[in-house]
Amino acid sequence: MLKNPSLASLAIIAWSCSTHAQPANHWQAITTAEGVWIQEGKTKVLFYQREPKAKDGKLARANYIHPLLDLDGEPITEDFPADHLHHRGIFWAWHQVTITGKSVGDPWALKDCGWDIRNVKTAEIDTSMSLRTTVHWISPLWRDDKGKQKPFVLEEAVITVHRAEKDRRAIDFEISLTALQQETRIGGATPTPGYGGFSPRLRLPQDVRFLGPKGDVKPLPGPVDPSPWIDVTGTFANDKHSGVAILIHPSTPGFPQPWILRSRGSMQNAVYPGATPILLPTDKALVLRYRLVLHRGAGQEEQIERWQREYANSKRN
């Protein structure tokens, strides 16, 4: 042991401790050729797909999350599922995208659409890690005078992964859309059931159960009643019961939104705006906010209502 250590010695000791004594759950953002992994310590949480990904040269997609892993490290999302090859992880897309009444693609079905991903940044803030993206929507059906595809929507998204607690982890999605061309509209499938918007494509176990504020919810051919949240539970992996609660922030347009729920071979969709397209503003962003809560065990109404209140009181990212 040092006797009467000098200030220089103390400084070296302090630097060594701060440099090598990493916190048990420090964050990592690992960039690959395809995108970015977010990890808490050694635990992978999710992957953001930045580069286009296709199957046999078809149905290219980018700007989405897959895989998303549960609290035990098991993937719970699907990409290129056989029943709907265009579905992909956690995505947000619309069937109708028009400019002055002209269709400029169908991003939901991955037809005549593209994403010019301008920037991806990550930052550690307190007990969370955020991933911020800047994306231009483009299409081969919308070009400038020189024949070059020109952007028509600016998308700025913030995906915030919160520190895992004993039995849950929250992940926030804030999606801001600003039109870069006048008379740009987005809308869902027509004439029914209107699906479009925020859509998790989850692996669905045989014992899947949907829960809402009024109890069990039965999927319908069309949308079920509007609700601020839906919980999806079942035996996703390793014979352990777990779930994903999908929450809508009250500031989101159309709150509470209707839901399209599927117990087999499809996505779960918080429907916005429905079959009737809405005009995207050019002077300010349309902001959509959702939270996923990964949890162990079956969802309980009182518990999820508490999570919804916590989310309602949270600030924007």
- Series of mean pLDDT values for 10-residue runs along the chain (317 residues): 44 40 72 98 96 97 97 94 98 98 98 98 94 98 97 98 96 98 97 93 95 96 96 86 96 97 97 97 98 94 97 87
Spatial distance between the Cα atoms of 108 and 190, rounded to a whole number of angstroms? 13
Q: What is the pLDDT of residue 25?
A: 57
Angle at 92 between CA 240 and CA 75, to 5 degrees: 25
Confidence (pTM): 0.91
Can you read off the two tokens belonging to residue 210? 């949907």
Task: Indicate the residue type of 23.
Answer: P
Spatial distance between the Cα atoms of 299 and 304, rounded to a whole number of angstroms? 7
Contact residues for 52 (Cβ-Cβ < 8 A; gap 6+): 60, 61, 62, 114, 115
